[in-house]
Amino acid sequence: MKQQRLKRIVIATLASVSVCVAQGNSSSDEATLDDKGNVYVMSRDGRHIRMTDTGHCAETIFADDRQTVGCLVAVNEHGQSPGGPPPSLQLEIYLKGGEKKMIEAGACALQIENQVSDEKQCGHQDGKVTVPHEVFLAKIRACRHAFLELGVEDGIVVTRTDSLGAGLTQQIAVSHKPGDLGDQYNSFLDCEEVTAANARNGDVIINRNGKMMRPKRLASNLYQFRAGTGEDRCVLDCITSLQNGADLLWIETEKPHIEQIAKMVDRIREVIPNAKLAYNNSPSFNWTLNFRWQVYDAMKEAGKDVSKYNRADLMKPEYDDTPLAIEADERIRTFQADSAKRAGIFHHLITLPTYHTAALSTDNLAREYFGEQGMLGYVKNVQRQEIRQGIACVKHQNMAGSDIGDVHKEYFAGESALKAGGAHNTMNQFG
């Protein structure tokens, strides 16, 4: 099973490209894997060429000895090296990439996203730039191959799409025929029709349904997508990811709205019925305001009286005990269960919660400690709660390793060890 799957992946990386060996100009479009995990390219003259860890060097195997014959160079049908990392050299990503190092360190799941690396933004910020599908799918195959190379058959690949809020792309996709992935990606580009008369120097022009179209290029040299295409791009991202080795999807949205998420998942499941979604219950959302807006809008649509609420001010404390706010809080409480049922969310994650809890608790402590409460601000709200809730960190010396240090000292110094533990250690006050 492992050998068959690897063979299929390797062949996929060699598609549409010839591999030329420096000596002999032989070419190959097949690859196999031996029991030790070595990848071999079979040249058309019958030689077995082993890809080394760099992915750039080839060796001919003669029984027990090896003879280096040259470097592998990826070329297209015109004998030219394609721009960017050639598909045949994706093996370098497989064999040397960070994915493999992370798995060796114990990672059981890898998460990748479809933003370009050099323009990377937080998923909830503006200015996001995506890559064409073929670029992203190559990364998915790299992750899957990294797992299989290390014998991890059940490694999880999570693919995140930021297309819903990403209005830009760095590249125009390569398209070989109408309707292929490259053509679908380019169909979302914001373009204007051009003729020979109004074409400008340096224009990039694509053929769309027989018309010459100029994608709108910004001063940053990025291309923009048509407004309103985000959901369609997300759905296509997710379907193609699952079809090419992903296990779990991650869609970044601009608000925590179950029906918005479910609408996209419903479309994905028309093609992939068992599609599962990971969702980021992010502190980047104003959860209070978003859900109060949702309840306000639902009340208004149902014809209920909302005259005592000002939609623009729903964050104010005076609304906290109103029926609207109580309903909003209940929706927040059940969000995980409700979205799992309706929108197919399989895994709920939350980013940066402890960053915010640490900031809030530190700020509150500072206000009390340097205010009227003084030391009581710490004792009542921190230490006393640690003791009563059984929080181990109340014995901070122990958590810092003093007990372990004593064991170490005693092992090497015996009775002469100068240990931290003992009758006078204040940790004893905590039981």
* Catalytic (active site) residue 122: yes
How far, in Å, CA of 20 to CA of 75, rounded? 8
How far, in Å, CA of 115 to CA of 130, rounded? 4
Which of 57, 122, 191, 234 does the annotation list as catalytic?
122
349 and 278 in contact (C-beta within 8 Å)?
yes
Supply the DSSP string of 85-120, one letter for each residue: S-GGGHHHHHHHSHHHHHHHTT-SEEEEESB-STT-
352 and 283 in contact (C-beta within 8 Å)?
yes
Supply the DSSP string of 201-255, one letter for each residue: TT---EEETTEEEEE-B-TTS-EEBPTT-HHHHHHHHHHHHHHTT--EEEE--SS
Helix (H) or strand (E) holding 12: helix 2-14
Phi, psi torsion values for 34, nearest 5 degrees: -95, 180
Q: Measuring CA to CA, how many Å separate 377 from each of 362, 371, 373, 382?
A: 11, 9, 5, 8
Contacts 24+ apart (CB under 8 A), 117-120: 119/170, 119/222
To which residue do tokens 């306000």 refer? 296
Phi, psi torsion values for 113, nearest 5 degrees: -135, 165
**Cross-sheet strand order for the sheet of 129-130:** 129-130, 168-169, 223-224
31 and 90 in contact (C-beta within 8 Å)?
no
Please work out, in degrees rounded to the nearest 5, the angle formed at the alpha carbon of residue 326 by the alpha carbons of 322 and 329. Answer: 140
3-state percent breakdown (helix, strand, coil) of the chain, nearest 5: 40, 20, 40
335 and 360 in contact (C-beta within 8 Å)?
no
User: Mind telling me the catalytic residues?
Assistant: 122
